[in-house]
Structures are given as structure tokens and as C-alpha cells.
Amino acid sequence: MQDLLQKIESKNVKVGVIGMGYVGLPLAIEIAKSDIQVVGIDVVESKVDAINSGESYISDVPSEVLADQVRRGRFAAVLDFQVVRTLDAIIICVPTPLNKTKDPDLGMVVEAVDRIIENRRENQLVVLESTTYPGTTEEMILPKFQDAGASVGVDFFLAFSPERVDPGNSIYKTSNIPKVIGGVTPPCGEVASKLYSNFIEKIVRVSSSRTAEMVKLLENTFRSVNIGLVNELALICDRLGINVWEVIEAAGSKPFGFMAFYPGPGLGGHCIPIDPLYLSWKLKPMNYRARFIELATEINSGMPRYVVNKINDALNESTKAIKNSKVLIIGVSYKKDFDDLREAPALDIIQLLRSRGAKVAFYDPYIPEIRLDGFLLEAVSLDRGLEGVDCTVIITNHSCIDYRKVVEGSPLVIDTRNATKGISNSKIIKL
């Protein structure tokens, strides 16, 4: 342990990051910028080639920054897991989606751990960052190492540190977001904390890996439940003829005891729609039903259908049927000013509209095309999209879009994000 700590303190340590996606690549860059040698490991050859060519495929990582670290020899990417034999620390940042039955799919974590064990040596640190259910590190990963003859806290060190990436956030990046770290044993937590302190400004050490796993789920369950609450409030206000946006803005004037959340067309991204279900799944064998989580999930997952019904009713009021109506979707990424389509509610809305016979087009300055069940839909320009449109639907409120132009060019606008705030026009229908 002391040898590993000395390596970390002197920055004479070599780190591997498995998974070069939205979490792994920015993390690897921060490690390299701290003057620590880092290797990115991924099974996708095109990602490895792009990294080694200094070409970034993630907007949060400028190509010039990536190229500089590659040129300095601090960062390289490989496909071969045999590089693990040369590493002092390995950080796992692979996706952990839900399968078709909404159960956690940890297949990529298991594969990564198995490949690490095949190539491991003594005195290495292994950290899991992929979101998962409480107990994963101790119940699934630790036994695999023990079966291979490794002794935790003695000849290898194991910890969990939840990723907290907010893609597109210009203020909070990997380096200045506090890092929660929980070791399987106290020495494991000490080694992991010492490593991360080289490239993360603030370390928040907790008592166990299980606690760290729960921290991540609390953060996103908190958001999911509150968004579910405000989405239900939007449904209630709609029936009562009240502007939900005005209600939230006025409530936000209270200087204590209130935190504003906003309704929308559904939840997107890899975390908020998925993470709470990890906790719900974990509790089912314990005869405990996570009622808040399940209810929030039910409300949030029903919002795309509510939006489509809203479109249908609005068209009917204009003496038009949804079938054969031209509908322009404004914004399809799951969050504003970013190019991420993961779990984007716009995809569900487009599919529902198409199933009802609508002629759907979309405009998004960040997304050139989308694929839905094998169907390719290419983005149109705003001017072209507004030509002959029957209804325009604002799903993602990108800052660069001229919403006055959208309103002026549309006979009917469904605004799910309050993007048209300050524009007074009877053709605008708010969520």
C-alpha cells in the first residue's frame, strides 16, 4: 500500500480508464492534465483511433485539448486489455443501462472486471464509477477478485466513486465537481482519495462503497421525484385552467423552503430516468415497494403521450386531424444546448406522432439526424420546417433558437419548456 501511495503522491503512477464515453473521456483528460500518464481503454475501434488522432467526439472535450495531451505523451487509447498489467490504477466508466424488463444490465461492468482480473497484478487500485445499485462493488465485484486469490485492502484496493458529469455545463466540469469516494475497506478509501485528489478539487470521503453507491441514487431520485411532482402539477393546472409556469415563478419568490423544478415533455439522459429504478429493483427482493420512485417514474414516462394528446386536441380545435398534419419538432436532444439523444423524450413523441399518421419533421442545431426503429429522419432548416407547418412543438429549448420567428411562422405552437416566455400570442399553448 505504501508503495502505491508513494507513486500516487509523486505522480509516478499510471492510470487506466475503461470506457471512453461522456464520463470516461473527460475524466481521462483531467488525469492527463494533472501530469499523470493515463490510458483510455475501449472496445470501439473508432473511438480509440479518434483519440490517438487527437480528434474529440464529445463536445465537452475540445479536440485541441485532447490533441495536446496526446502530443505530450500523457494520454493514449488502446483496445487491448493487456495494458492492465502495466497500470497502477484502473477506473471503470462503462454504461449501465436497463434491459427491456427495466432491470439493471451490468454486463459491461462484469466484462470489464473479468478482463481486469485476467490481466491484473498485485498492488493495484480498482474504482467503479458506473452508476449501479447499493452493494454492487461488495457483492458482485469483490467476490470475483477474491475468487482469483486477491485480498482486498492488502494486495489490491477497491472503491466506488459515482460519476457526476453534467454534459454541456459550462461552469461545473469534472475537475470542480466534488468527488464522493467510498472504499470497501478504509485503506481502499485512502488510496482512492489520494489518487483523485491529484485532479479533482474537492474529495468527499464516505464510510463505504455501499454508501457512495447510494449517494448517486439519492441525487437522481431526488430530481426524478421532484420533476414527477411538478409534472403532475402541470397536469392539474391544465385541468384547472392555471398557468403552471406562473405558479412556479411566483412560488420561487419564497426565500426559504422551496426549490424550483420545472415540468417538461418527459425525462431524458442516462441518469435521471434510469438511476431511481436501480434502487427500486434492489428493494423488490426485500418486500419493499419504492412507491415514490414508481409513481414519479409512471408520471414522467407518461408525459410524451400527454404532449401528443395536447397536440391532437390543439389541432382538433383548429379543425385539423393529427393524421396527415405536418408537425415540426423544435429540439430533440434531451437537454438544452447539447447534442445528447440518450433517453430523449422527443424520440418517444416523434414515434407516437408517426403512429397517428402525422408528417413529422425536426429542427435541432445540435442533432443532424435521428434513427427510430430503423427509420432515418434528417434535420431540416428552421425555414424549411416552418413551410406549410400545421403545428410546431418545442421540446428542447436551445438558447440559440429564435422563438419569435418560430411563433410568427407557425399557425399553432405547443411549448413544453416555456421557451416562448415573454411572447404574447394566442396561438401559443403551454404545457
What digits encode the pLDDT tens for the residues 92-104? Answer: 999 998 887 778 8
Half-sphere exposure of 144 (CA within 13 A, CB side): 19
pTM attached to this predicted model: 0.91
Tell me the C-alpha distance between 136 and 138, whole Å.
6
- Per-residue pLDDT tens over the stretch 153-202: 999 999 999 999 888 888 999 999 999 999 999 999 999 999 999 999 99
Catalytic annotation, residues: 271
What are the distances in angstroms from CA 145 to CA 124, 382, 397? 12, 55, 47
Q: Is there a single domain that holds both residue 179 and residue 302?
A: no
Looking at residue 265, its amino acid is: P
Q: Is there a single domain that holds both residue 370 and residue 268?
A: yes
Domain coverage including residue 274: 229-430
- Per-residue pLDDT tens over the stretch 242-260: 999 999 999 999 999 999 9
Tell me the C-alpha distance between 190 and 233, whole Å.
45
Closest CA to 75 of 45, 38, 26: 38
Q: Is there a single domain that holds both residue 195 and residue 48?
A: yes
Could you tell me if residue 394 is inside a domain? yes
Arithmetic mean of pLDDT, 142-148: 97
Q: Is there a single domain that holds both residue 137 and residue 262?
A: no
Q: Is there a single domain that holds both residue 45 and residue 122?
A: yes
- Per-residue pLDDT tens over the stretch 373-412: 888 999 999 999 999 999 999 999 999 999 999 999 999 9
Confidence band (pLDDT; 50, 70, 90) for 271?
confident
Tell me the C-alpha distance between 67 and 42, whole Å.
18
Q: Is there a single domain that holds both residue 267 and residue 162?
A: no
Given a cut of 80, is residue 270 above it in pLDDT?
no
HEC profile of the chain: CHHHHHHHHHCCCEEEEECCCCCHHHHHHHHHHCCCEEEEECCCHHHHHHHHCCCCCCCCCCHHHHHHHHHCCCEEEECCHHHHHHCCEEEECCCCCECCCCCECCHHHHHHHHHHHHHCCCCEEEEECCCCCCCHHHHHHHHHHHHCCCCECCCEEEEECCCCCCCCCCCCCHHHCCEEEEECCHHHHHHHHHHHCCCCCCEEEECCHHHHHHHHHHHHHHHHHHHHHHHHHHHHHHHHCCCHHHHHHHHCCCCCCCCCCCCCCCCCCCCCCCHHHHHHHHHHHHCCCCHHHHHHHHHHHCHHHHHHHHHHHHHHHCCCCCCCCEEEEECCCCCCCCCCCCCCHHHHHHHHHHHCCCEEEEECCCCCEEEECCEEEECCCHHHHHCCCCEEEECCCCCCCCHHHHHHCCCCEEECCCCCCCCCCCCEEEC
Mean pLDDT value across the chain? 95
* Total tally of structural domains belonging to the chain: 2
Could you tell me the CATH number of the domain that includes residue 271?
Answer: 3.40.50.720
Could you tell me if residue 222 is inside a domain? no
Q: Is there a single domain that holds both residue 322 and residue 383?
A: yes
Judged by DSSP in three states, 372 sits in: strand
Q: Is there a single domain that holds both residue 128 and residue 202?
A: yes
Q: Is there a single domain that holds both residue 251 and residue 183?
A: no
Could you tell me if residue 301 is inside a domain? yes
Cell of 411: 399557425
Given a cut of 80, is residue 222 above it in pLDDT?
yes
